Amino acid sequence: MWVLETQLCDAVHDDLRRALTLVNGTPVYALSAEEWTAIEAVYRLYDDLGGQPDTALRPAALDAARPSLYEAYNQVQIGGRLADLRAHLLASTNSCPYCGFGEPKDLDHYLPRSVYGELAIYPNNLVPSCGPCNNAKRAVVPGIGPGPGLIHPYFQELPEADFLTAEITFEDGSLDVSFAIDYEPINPDLAAKLQFQLERLKLNQRYPAQINKFINEQCISILMLRELGAELVATWLRRNAVSLADSFHRNDWRVALMRALAEVPEFCANPAAYLGDYVRAA
């Protein structure tokens, strides 16, 4: 959840040529030497800026080419000349980095294609994402500086701190979990951006189904340990959080949930009373 490794961009020039050339060899748009130089400079600058918006990413040298560069993304769709690029990007992660659970079926332009046509097929500007996150983010002004926006999954460096928290309550016979960002251990600008991301993508409204599924998977192990006492249950929850952090991220929602449950004495002492329907299902 949150971040991904940057994409390999070695083939981006060949990909752009394929996008701008029909199968029969007819050019859709023939880039001049000056335009190629400008595009290469834009790609380098984008990486140097960590994907942050900047007017220099829209050089005047590409004004004539920009509409064709914008349309080049159409070839990234299924059946297009760059369908292999789409498949490669979607296969680079098992879950949407924005929410941490959705199946990545879409490619999100981190900097919007409508503004930055030059970056329409640049791999580091294409984020594998699930449909709900892609649709929710669509109108957001991105960036890694201060102000509202979603973090850049490829370029945002996250601190070695536990900043995702889960508040546990017990209502109407079931667990109620609410996630939030702890501002204390991290930079306040980053914290504000992460909290904005939680709210913009409506993650607290979307997590319950995932939490139900996840808790059901953990239920048998938790109930087996209850016979040995509350402290052992809490210890197992903490160790499970560490194991999950190795697989996902220390601030993945599953990790935050396990950490939070370990700090609820009533749950650890009598998990069956909290698990409710999960006990009956088990």
pLDDT digits (tens, 9 = 90+) for 103-112: 999 999 999 9
Confidence at residue 227, expressed as pLDDT on a 0 to 100 scale: 76
pLDDT digits (tens, 9 = 90+) for 140-157: 656 545 567 889 999 999
Tokens of 168: 């546990």
What integer is the mean pLDDT of 211-230?
87
Q: Output the pTM of the full model.
A: 0.89
Residue 123, pLDDT > 90, answer yes
Confidence at residue 147, expressed as pLDDT on a 0 to 100 scale: 61
Q: Which residue has the higher pLDDT, 200 or 276?
A: 200
Lowest mean pLDDT among 77-86, 133-142, 196-205, 227-236: 133-142
Confidence at residue 139, expressed as pLDDT on a 0 to 100 scale: 59
Cβ-based neighbour number of residue 79 at 10 Å:
8
Contact 186, 163 (CB under 8 A): yes
pLDDT digits (tens, 9 = 90+) for 245-275: 999 999 999 999 999 999 999 999 988 888 7
Q: How far apart are CA 279 and CA 274, in angstroms?
A: 9
pLDDT digits (tens, 9 = 90+) for 23-36: 999 999 999 999 99
Contact 1, 252 (CB under 8 A): yes
Contacts 24+ apart (CB under 8 A), 165-172: 165/256, 165/260, 166/253, 166/256, 166/257, 166/259, 166/260, 167/260, 168/260, 168/261, 168/264, 168/267, 170/266, 170/274
Confidence at residue 2, expressed as pLDDT on a 0 to 100 scale: 86
pLDDT digits (tens, 9 = 90+) for 44-86: 999 999 999 999 999 999 999 999 999 999 999 999 999 999 9
Q: How far apart are CA 19 and CA 73, in angstroms?
A: 8
Residue 174, pLDDT > 50, answer yes
Q: How far apart are CA 234 and CA 83, in angstroms?
A: 48
Confidence at residue 220, expressed as pLDDT on a 0 to 100 scale: 85
Confidence at residue 142, expressed as pLDDT on a 0 to 100 scale: 60
